[in-house]
Amino acid sequence: MKITGIICEYNPLHLGHKKQMERIRSIQGESSGIVCLMSGNFVQRGAPAIVDKSLRAKAAILCGADLVLEMPVTVSLSSAEGFASGGVSILSPFCDALCFGAEDADKASLLEAAKALLDPQFSDALRTELSKGLSFPAARQAALEVMGIDGALVAQPNNILAVEYCKAILQQNCAMEPLPITRVGSYHD
């Protein structure tokens, strides 16, 4: 039986999240397990969750999760990099895959961008772009372009987190398989 992890907030849980769990079961098999690592009463951007964590966990179970674990608040309130790294660290000992939404769900492209961010040449390219007065996001995109990677990949919020999940999997040398699925629309606006 395969166990797939989802790092989530479910603030609130919506039909897209339910569809993600259904998609996992269609890919991994009906007998596969789904473990959600969910933010508690505070979510990644530092705001209080709009619904109590126990109600969000119950909703996740009712939509198909087999187990919901609470993410430590120090991970929940981290940057995208810390959020992804902490989540991967917690789930990797018992999950075979990590499923996440991305505007561009091409696993090869996401892994290529993650590898580039880990390449020592990226730091030099980033410093060069930052010295031009660019903001960090714009400099990161430009530095990836210098390295021959499509910088637009890290211009959208779900892709940014997807690349960070892939980067954490590579950095931590864990056996979890990235399982990106297309996420349509943005809930960050």
Q: Which long-range contacts (CB under 8 A, 24 or more apart) does 146-155 make?
A: 147/116, 147/119, 147/121, 147/122, 149/112, 149/113, 149/116, 150/109, 150/113, 153/104, 153/109, 153/110, 153/113, 154/113
Residue 38 sits at φ, ψ, to 5 deg, of -110, 140
pLDDT of residue 171: 98
pLDDT of residue 46: 85
pLDDT digits (tens, 9 = 90+) for 19-69: 999 999 999 999 999 999 999 999 987 889 999 999 999 999 999 999 999
CB atoms within 10 A of CB 182: 12
- 85 contacts: CB under 8 Å, gap ≥ 6: 78, 164, 168, 171, 172
Residue 189 has pLDDT above 90, yes or no: no
177 strand-pairing partners: 97
What is the residue-averaged pLDDT of the chain? 94
Contact call for residues 69 and 40 (beta carbons, < 8 A)? no
Residue 188 has pLDDT above 50, yes or no: no
pLDDT of residue 185: 58
Whole-model pTM: value is 0.94
pLDDT digits (tens, 9 = 90+) for 89-121: 999 999 999 999 999 999 999 999 999 999 999
17 pLDDT tier (thresholds 50, 70, 90) = very high
Averaged over 150-165, what is the pLDDT? Answer: 94
pLDDT of residue 24: 97
Averaged over 142-167, what is the pLDDT? Answer: 95
